[in-house]
Every structure is written in structure tokens, then in C-alpha cells.
Chain A
Amino acid sequence: NAGVTQTPKFRVLKTGQSMTLLCAQDMNHEYMYWYRQDPGMGLRLIHYSVGEGTTAKGEVPDGYNVSRLKKQNFLLGLESAAPSQTSVYFCASSYSFGTSVGKNIQYFGAGTRLSVL
């Protein structure tokens, strides 16, 4: 049981380059999330999706785009990378969001370490 898989694990970009991070989950979860983690900042929500074909902005969406064409996949894109986007990116998924006990537990991937030079 793979859970949440992120690719690639590491990437180095030059300023202005573009790239796409892929997240795949095999738990049939409706909700998927992209976070970034920076030293001293904890995890901050970039974008999320409440189901196939839907996406929404989180706390820090600027400079990123996302797509959820298939239920199991959630893609995070950087159109023109900037040094401020150097970070570790985590994808997560959950069965639902809200008050149902146990249903909104998020399962995380191992992360993608991105450096923008």
C-alpha cells in the first residue's frame, strides 16, 4: 500500500524555469493538499482540492498553479520559479474535511526538496 507518493524527491531549478510536482494517492481520498515547509514557518497550505476537477487557494497560493484532472492525482506547477520558492513541498490527502472524527486525518507524502538558484 503506497499511500501518498510524490515525484520528484529532489529538484534544482534556475530562476525563471518551470516545473510540475506530481502527487498520487491510492486511498481513494476526495481531499488533497499541497503545503510548503520552510525553517521556522511550519507547514503552510498552498492550494487544495475537494474533489476531481476542483481546486482552491490556500494561505500562500501566489506563484503556484494546481490541477486535479484525476481523483488520485494532484499536480503543483511553478510557471516561473523564483528563489523565494526554495522549500520542501508536501502533498497530503484525506477522506474528508471537517468534523467527522478520523475522516479528516491527513496522510502525507515524503516531500519534494526544491532549490531555485
Chain B
Amino acid sequence: LAKTTQPISMDSYEGQEVNITCSHNNIATNDYITWYQQFPSQGPRFIIQGYKTKVTNEVASLFIPADRKSSTLSLPRVSLSDTAVYYCLVAEGNTGTASKLTFGTGTRLQVTL
């Protein structure tokens, strides 16, 4: 399976916009890209999901190019409480096979004053 890769860590100041990219060059044709946030000692929780182009909700935006081989999670005006690990999740290969669900390696975001 092609690996789903993300930067290991990122640093940001409070109030800045943060963009985290996930590379997934073997994504299944018909499946969605989902991003999760994880705080220490907690399970991941859903942030945003998209299939193509751009999706926006109350906490983030997700940008997906036409070839869908990558995606970028955008967090506007981050605060200290956004310090967490962010994961992308894609299905690789043939859609509908949960065994090919692949989480990215995770990006540790540290926000400081």
C-alpha cells in the first residue's frame, strides 16, 4: 500500500492560519478524505470531510486538488486550544474494503502565544 504521509510537526503562533497537507497518491476512486483531531489521552475526533475541490465548516476548510492525490486542512486563526495531533484518513485501492483504510502518520501542531 502506498503510504499516506503528513509532516511530522508544525509550529504556529496564535491567530495565524495553519495549513497541513496529507499526501495520499493511492486513494480509492470513490472515497472521501476525512480529517481527525486528537488531544492527549483522547481518541481522535472528526473535523472535516470532503471528496473534491473545497469544503468548509465552522472549524476548518479542506482543499482537494483535481487529482485527489493530496489534501490540505486549513485552520483559520488558530488558538492555543488547537494544539493537537491531526490525522488524515483515506481508503486506498478498491473502495469498500475497510482493511485498506489508512490513517496518515499524523501532524503534531503546537500553537504558542
Q: Which residues of A contact B (CB under 8 A)?
A: 4, 31, 33, 35, 40-45, 48, 50, 56-59, 90, 92, 97-99, 101-102, 104-111
Contacts and interface: CB of A to CB of B under 8 A. Distances in A.
A16 B111 CA distance: 43
Given A42-B87, A56-B98, A58-B98, A4 B31 contact: no
Most A CB contacts (10 A, CB to CB) among B34, B41, B99 go to B99
7 contacts: A42-B106, A48-B99, A50-B98, A101-B32, A101-B49, A106-B44, A106-B46
Contact of A104 (B32, B87, B105): B32
Contacts of B106: 42
Given A105-B49, A108-B45, A98 B96 contact: yes
Nearest to A44: B103
Given A97-B96, A105-B34, A4 B101 contact: no
B81 interface: no
Given A42-B87, A105-B46, A111 B41 contact: yes
A37 to B, nearest CB: 9
B103 A110 contact: no
A110 B104 contact: no
B65 to A, nearest CB: 19
Which of B45, B51, B103, B106 neighbours the largest number of chain A CB atoms within 10 Å of its CB? B103
Contact of A56 (B45, B99, B102): B99
B98 A31 contact: yes
Most buried by B among A43, A98, A101: A43
A65 B105 CA distance: 25
Contact of B44 (A43, A58, A102): A43
Interface in B36-87: 36, 41-46, 49, 51, 87
Interface string B20-42: 00000000001110101000011
A90 B105 contact: no
B16 interface: no
Contacts of B112: none
Given A42-B103, A42-B106, A44-B103, A99 B95 contact: yes
